[in-house]
Structure 1
Amino acid sequence: MCPVAIARIFLLVAAVVGVFVRPVRLPNWAVPVAAAVMLLLIGAMTADAAFDAVRPLLAPLAFLLLAVPLAVMLDRLGFFAALAALVDTGPNPRLGLWILAAAVTTFLNLDASVVLLTPLYIRIARQHGFNQTMLAVQPALLACLASSALPISNLTNLIAADTYGLGVADFVVRLGPASLVAVAVGWVFYRRADTTATVAHDQVRDPIDPRALRLGTPIVIFVVLGFTVGDLVDIPAWAVAGVADIVLLALTRTVRVRDIPYGAAALALSLGIVATAASPHLGLGALFSGSGTLDQLRVAAVAALGANTINNLPALLISLPEVNAHSATLWPLLFGVNFGPVLVLHGSLAGLLWRDTAARLGVEVSGWQYTRLGLRIGLPALLAGLAVVIGTGTFMG
């Protein structure tokens, strides 16, 4: 193997490891950005090649930079709290909250679900006397199980959609049924796992803010229609989010720098550069060949393993060039990188974001605790969804 290939692979490994193993005060994007810069400085990748590598990320990241402030401003308006109050109508609101997290993940994105609903669910758990970890984990689980049905649900979907010109209908047909089945199966096993819900407690009801619902509902309807119908007339998701941001900014009159996920954008761009540079030297082509049932199973398993080993974003960026829009393995690949992190906390950036969000509110969850819950709740849901994906792929070709 030539020195350039060795350097590219080494920098990819360093970038991925640097996301998880770093000094406490160093942001998770620092090492990957340094690796990408080093790649350019030593001449292992040209500036033109780096730009070509990040080109597929530009539209998805524009959406991410606009969608997260959108969700934050909706929360600041009081919309999510009012919506939670609507579903928190009895002594056991867990099913309503499960459905809410699935809907927010699907129609806004998994980051909105993790960032906004986790604090809300911890507060509701404390009010009702529920196990805080069990209720708080709902958004984390559903960030995996419910983030495949639409292009805007997950950054991985947006990257694939932008790379191969995929639309809403493609995701709804190919991954929508699997997501629906996984969410339903996940609920069944979640209900069995959460044995604390029967503990006696006092019912607490939050007041429903009619003003927040009156102002927020039209915006959410516009966003949902814009993300779905807008795709059919070539209106990009980031443009819809941008319009909604302008309206919400006029209502809330505040947006902060910390509301903008610039760190996640820097992380995605830098990982995109180093992963693209290293991918030709990893010999992945044979793993993604074929179109039969066993081939689809192999691709889904490799994608899930890759996500849980090096994180789902670099796993997708390395694997995506090995398939194409008409390949039978494209959808198992997306399924693996989206659903796989339900088993391992560091399998996705959303999982790490959830852990940090919960920890700030006093709910500490170790990687092993998350994996145990993932095996009990997420694994049956993942297997059910995989069966649907393979069945859909076999039927549709």
Structure 2
Amino acid sequence: MAQTKSYIAARLSAFPNWPLWFYVALAAAVAVASRQVPVLGTDSVASIISRTSHILVFLVAVTIVADLCSAAGLFDAVGRYLARHSGGRIAVLFFGVSALGLFTTTVMSLDTTAVLLTPVVIRMAKNIRVSPLPFAMAAIWLANAGSLILPVSNLTNLLAMHRLQATPLEYLSVMWLPGLIAALVPVALLAIGYRKTLLRPYDPPLKGAPRDPILVRICGAVILAMLPAIVAGIPVEGIAVIALTVLFVVFAVRDRSALGWHLLPWRLIVLTVSLFIAMAGLSKVGAESLVASALGSSDDLVGLLRTAGVSALVANVFNNLPAYLLLETALPAEASDQLFGVLIGVNAGPGILMHGSLATLLWWDRCKKEGVDVTWRYFLAFGLVCVPLTLVSSVFALWFVLR
């Protein structure tokens, strides 16, 4: 009995330390959803599964890929390289990391940035003996807010492009400016808030050799190979699965000790599935009509601000991916301009509560593993300042492009 209690306590403590009210609200939503499953119908359930299953596959695969790259020492190698080539100035290093974060988010997706870049910047900051918090915060804000520029940057963008029946170039012609501004605003706020830290010099670290240089090079090659594949339009979940397969075979040969069931991100799987089920049920008990009323039908500047604000609120409460599915169904088919406003809200807006996006959950999990404690209170305080400024600036840019 004592062993059973200890095991249960250990499993419960493995879940993120989210507020109790969120667990209660999530449980209630799932309960409502489960009661509404017969109302959804077989066709509706099948449609929801077909539209969201690739998200879960990508999430699991890319998380394990990141863990294996970390085990190989790739993150440490990249962090040392960045730290050695910034001239001993923290500000140069910070903006260099920011540029790298925007690049990886734009061409490799926000989840990849949250998973791959976060350990890099945390270990890099620790190696030069500076606070890793501004670098870690830049990584997650560039993952979320910087995920508007290309369709591959965020799975919500891919869903929107499919609904709009637009080409990647057509999407880019509308969202490049809003996406760029959405990325610059949080970087500027972080630079201002941490200006004393960024103005300090540091001693560049000495060059070090990884434990298995060949394994590091293979991991780096796999990550770099993902870039042209994603740009070419290959389904991201297929790319992630192929990358995972390659690394699994390589590790089976060179470092079998890194493989195991511990790599499976079961917490994120449980949460993601629960969120999608909850949203499917809520959409059948009046949530869709309520959201449609809140969004309105105007696509002028005020209407776009309203759309982005409502979308950000829904994303922070329910998580951005299921929120997008609900918001999309609440809009009429011809509301293309408003749909871009929804993307700004669900991509750049979920920076107030940590469960607002899957990327943030991945990032927070990486921070915990690297020994960086980001409190809910701190994340909330920064988000309450940054989110409104980011949304307003991006919506003004969207309105300017659409004129």
Question: Normalised by the shorter chain, which TM-score bucket?
Answer: 0.7 to 0.9
1:168-183 to structure 2, matched below 5 A, reads 168-183=168-183
1-structure distance, mates of 2:206, 2:372: 22
TM-score by length of 2: 0.78
| Aligned position for 2:137 | 137
Counterpart among 289, 292, 306 of residue 285 in structure 1: 292
- Deviation of the 1:212 alpha carbon: 5.7
Shift of 1:200: 5.4
Which amino acid in the other structure matches residue 347 of structure 2?
Answer: N
The superposition leaves residues 277-301 of structure 1 with CA deviations (integer Å, 9 ceiling, x where unpaired) of 3325132334242332222221111
CA distance in 1 between counterparts of 2:165 and 2:61 reads 21
CA deviations on 1:216-274 (whole Å, 9 max, x unpaired) are 44433331111111x2xxx4222222222222222222544343445434433443333
Aligned-residue CA RMSD in angstroms? Answer: 3.4
> 2:34, 2:277 within 8 Å by CA — same for their partners in 1?
no
- 2:300 and 2:399 in contact (8 A); partners too: no
Aligned residue among 267, 273, 276 for 2:280: 276
Q: Deviations over 1:67-103 (max 9, x none)?
A: 3333333333433332333222232221222222223
- Tell me the residue number matched to 1:207: 208
Change (3 A) 1:256 1:112: farther
Match of 2:324 among 306, 316, 320: 316
| 2:76 aligned partner | 81
Q: Name the counterpart of 2:251.
A: 252
Does 2:192 correspond to 1:197?
A: no
Distance in 1 of aligned mates of 2:267 and 2:310:
28
Q: Which moved more, 1:125-134 or 1:267-276?
A: 267-276
Structure 2 counterpart of 1:242: 241
1:188 matched to which residue of 2?
A: 188
**How many angstroms apart in 2 are the aligned matches of 1:250 and 1:219?**
12
Matches of residues 19-58 of structure 1 in structure 2 within 5 Å?
20-21=18-19, 36-40=33-37, 43-58=38-53
**Which amino acid in 2 is paired with 1:369?**
Y
Residues 311, 115 of structure 1: CA spacing in aligned structure 2 closer, same or farther, 3 A cutoff? same
Instruction: Give the letter aligned to residue 225 of structure 1.
Output: P
Distance 1:59 1:136, change over 3 A: closer
Q: Which amino acid aligns with 1:63?
A: F
Match status 1:225 vs 2:228: yes
Tell me how far 1:276 sits from its aligned partner.
3.0
Q: Distance in 2 between matches of 1:94 and 1:180?
A: 17
Read off the aligned partner of 1:298 and give its amino acid letter. R
Q: Is the 8 A contact 1:88 1:205 kept in 2?
A: no
Task: Give 3-state SS (helix, strand or coil) of 2:98's partner.
Answer: helix
Secondary structure of 2:283's match? helix
TM-score, normalization by structure 1: 0.79
The aligned runs of 1:51-200 (5 Å cut-off) are: 51-89=46-84, 90=86, 91=88, 92=90, 93-161=93-161, 165=165, 167-194=167-194, 195-199=196-200
CA distance in 1, matches of 2:96, 2:226: 22
**1:339: how far off?**
0.4
Code of the residue aligned with 2:379 in structure 1: it is Y
CA contact (8 A) 2:60 2:269 kept: yes
Which one of 386, 389, 394 corresponds to residue 398 of structure 2?
389
How far off its partner does 1:335 sit?
Answer: 0.9
Is contact 1:305-1:340 (8 Å) kept?
Answer: yes
User: Any conservation in 2 of the 1:316–1:337 contact (CA below 8 Å)?
Assistant: yes
Which region of structure 1 is more displaced relative to structure 2, 205-214 or 172-181? 205-214
Report the secondary structure of 1:175's partner residue.
Answer: helix
Per-residue deviation, 1:179? 2.0
Q: Which amino acid aligns with 2:352?
A: L
* SS of match in other structure, 1:250: helix
AA in 1 matched with 2:301: T
CA contact (8 A) 2:33 2:282 kept: no
The alignment-based identity, stated in percent, is 26
1:13 maps to: none
Over 3 Å counting, the alpha-carbon distance change for 1:131 and 1:80 in structure 2 is closer
The Cα shift of 1:151 comes to 3.3
Other-structure match for 2:364: 355
Is the counterpart of residue 297 in structure 1 residue 297 in structure 2? no
* Aligned-pair CA distance for 1:46: 3.4
**CA distance in 1 between partners of 2:247 and 2:334 (Å):** 36
Give distance in 2, aligned partners of 1:288 and 1:87: 47
Structure 1 residues 60 and 354: CA distance shift in structure 2, 3 A: closer
Tell me: CA distance 1:349–1:191, structure 2 relative to 1, closer, same or farther (3 Å).
Answer: same
Asked if the contact 1:53–1:273 (Cα under 8 Å) also holds between the matched residues in 2, the reply is no
